[in-house]
Structure 1
């Protein structure tokens, strides 16, 4: 909830100089952590997070959730992660064999699923156009 100051109150210099919070892609460039695991890694590194979305849509599930990360905390955590002072599971990381393997198999499953769905759609389209195959 935004806070509105009193009309007569002087503006704080700190508020004017506040850096823009970083999104997930920007943080993923700085940390060797896969983007879907950034909120968990940020929690382990004591990085302040702003969460947007995720509200319930009733029967239709939930809206997507987006995260923003405090820039100063991200820079501090980047050093700590590089030095190994933050315990991040190896499957979350992009610089470990376990992490690269998990990413490979995740992409493989996604591509396989897309291929199967496309094949089924083409099969159904063929049946609809040419009728029942005897």
Structure 2
């Protein structure tokens, strides 16, 4: 019996996986793939800035699980989906937990903008105050 030829597979990226499974939360794509037996392949790239790692997913398995998600037979936790009451509660909790950070970021940006505007106003007033600065344009 001859050995099986290696199959040439165009592995799907996580972005493509998200498009194939639109009802699955982006943070739960890998967990869904593992729970449903989707073959994956780790890719590593080396560059000047260091090592980049990403995971590719087998397209036939992704299609099989997409059909299982559509007919309700996929192995899923309720909070992995976007359209369940558990997911809506999780979203609400995450927004509430992240609110202090969002307010802090907004205040930090506002303070930064105020400092820059103050600096520009002071610089503009100092240069246009009628002082006898030499003119280089004759």
Tell me the TM-score range normalised by the shorter chain: 0.5 to 0.7
Q: Does 2:110 align with 1:118? A: no
Give the aligned partner of residue 59 of structure 1: none
Aligned residue among 38, 53, 56 for 1:68? 56
Structure 1 residue 123: Cα displacement: 4.3
Deviations 1:56-108 (A, max 9, x none): xxxxxxx7753211000000111122222222111111121221332354356
* TM-score using structure 1 length: 0.60
Aligned-partner Cα distance in 2 for 1:65–1:90: 29
Aligned-partner Cα distance in 2 for 1:107–1:64: 30
Aligned-partner Cα distance in 2 for 1:108–1:66: 31
Aligned residue among 24, 35, 38 for 1:33? 24
* TM-score using structure 2 length: 0.59
Instruction: Give the secondary structure class of the aligned counterpart of 2:54.
Output: strand
Give the aligned partner of residue 21 of structure 1: 11
Give the aligned partner of residue 39 of structure 2: 48
Instruction: Report the RMSD for the aligned CA atoms in angstroms.
Output: 3.3
**Cα distance change on mapping 1:116 and 1:93 into 2, 3 Å:** same
CA radius of gyration, larger in? 2
Unpaired runs of 5+ residues, structure 1, are 1-11, 54-62
Give the aligned partner of residue 97 of structure 1: 85
